[in-house]
């Protein structure tokens, strides 16, 4: 399954979050991501602040294109990316799709 080739589907609530088994199944298709306190998260390391901010701006572009937005914690040489689908207060496939797209950016 290539999650990075998929497109997010708008989620406005009314559906159930992924089960733990479903989330763990999708997690197997990602590298370096973890499930933590109901979120999907990963911390990326960079050489300097410019690389970090360039990455943050690229995440903003992906978020805009997919209409699905992460929570970011940005430091000098790192960026923590956390996904959760707020409309359902849990994880959806959209979180994993966006994580896969972010992974693609990191290797560029």
Global pTM?
0.92
Task: Summarize pLDDT for 28-72 with one digit per residue, the tens.
Answer: 999 999 999 999 999 999 999 999 999 999 999 999 999 999 999
For residue 108, pLDDT beyond 70: no
Which strands form 39-45's sheet, in the order they lie side by side? 34-36, 39-45, 78-83, 71-74
Give dist(CA 32, CA 27) in Å, integer. Answer: 9
Has residue 25 been placed in a domain? no
- Specify the number of domains making up the chain: 1
Which domain, by its residues, includes 70? 37-108
Is the pLDDT at 106 greater than 90? The verdict is no
| Residue 32 belongs to some domain of the structure | no
Whichever domain contains 89, its CATH number is 3.30.1360.20
Residue 29 within any structural domain of the chain: no
Task: Classify residue 77: in a domain, yes or no.
Answer: yes
């Amino acid at each position: 399954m290539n999650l990075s080739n998929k497109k997010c589907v708008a989620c406005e609530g009314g559906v159930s979050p992924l089960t733990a088994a479903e989330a763990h199944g999708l997690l197997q298709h990602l590298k370096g991501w973890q499930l933590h306190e109901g979120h999907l998260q990963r911390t990326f390391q960079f050489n300097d602040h410019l690389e970090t901010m360039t990455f943050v701006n690229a995440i903003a572009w992906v978020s805009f294109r997919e209409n699905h937005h992460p929570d970011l914690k940005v430091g000098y040489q790192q960026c923590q990316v956390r996904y959760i689908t707020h409309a359902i207060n849990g994880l959806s496939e959209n979180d994993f799709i966006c994580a896969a797209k972010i992974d693609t950016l990191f290797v560029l």
